[in-house]
Amino acid sequence: MNTVTRKLVAEFLGTALLVTVVVGSGIAAEQLSPGQTGLQLLENSTATALGLAVLILVFGPISGAHFNPVVSVADWFLGRRRGTGLRAIELAGYIPAQVAGGLLGAALANAMFDLGVIQISRHDRLTAGHLLGEVVATAGLLAVIFALARSGRAALSAAAVGAYIGAAYWFTSSTSFANPAVTVGRIFSDTFAGIAPGSVPGYIAAQVLGAALGLTAVTWLYPDSAATADAVTVPHERTGNLPTSS
């Protein structure tokens, strides 16, 4: 199996398992703590933060553990002139793999809890506050990832990214989706973790805006960020080469 294929499989599986963690822990929280929204959020956010950190450790050395289209686009954009970061052919595969993984992850979580494998969420999340929350959450996520790479601390990304997402569940009104692939996957869970289809376009637009703001901040604070684009989220294999290091 060539390097590009292995990267795409890693992104597919990693995103699928991430959505399984998000949706599955949301279903479990709803069943274990009915009517206790704060406790449900604590259970969901704790599982997500820990699960994300583990998935970055497992899949990061292969694909960088992006699991997120806006991270992949930012990585390609930042490194395109320096020959670092994702190549265009990889980007063209990463995004479909991530979205497909998100869909599988939601279906898998539903099946594990004996729910309908394919559901459509009725959880409307579209308010101005929620959209602002997604801008903030995504900008912060991009800033954390790229700042760690630029400062030679990408090895800390598993812990830092997991901790950031866990915290952002609580300090953003949207509970920090911050990921278009995860957002699309969560359409198919009519549970605590779901999102109604009508809310999705606004969320994705807010995530794109947040990613642009976060990347702008990082490139201003760290002017030579492009040099370390291939260490996002963590140092990983480059196509046709041995694994890179930070």
- Are 48 and 165 in contact by the 8 Å Cβ rule? The answer is yes
- Per-residue tokens: 213: 């703001």
**CATH classification number, 3-231, choose in 3.40.50.2020, 1.10.510.10, 3.40.50.300, 1.20.1080.10:** 1.20.1080.10
pTM for the whole thing? 0.92
Question: DSSP string spanning 78-130?
Answer: HHTTTT-S--HHHHHHHHHHHHHHHHHHHHHHHHHTTS-SS---------HHH
Positive or negative: CA dihedral 145, 152, 80, 93: negative
For residue range 199-243, list pLDDT tens digits in order: 999 999 999 999 999 999 998 998 877 676 677 778 787 765 433
The closest alpha carbon to 241, from 1, 14, 74, 2, belongs to 2
- Is residue 197 pLDDT above 70, yes or no? yes
Domain spans in the chain, listed from the N-terminal domain onward: 3-231
pLDDT in tens, 79-135: 887 777 899 999 999 999 999 999 999 999 999 999 999 999 999 999 999 999 999
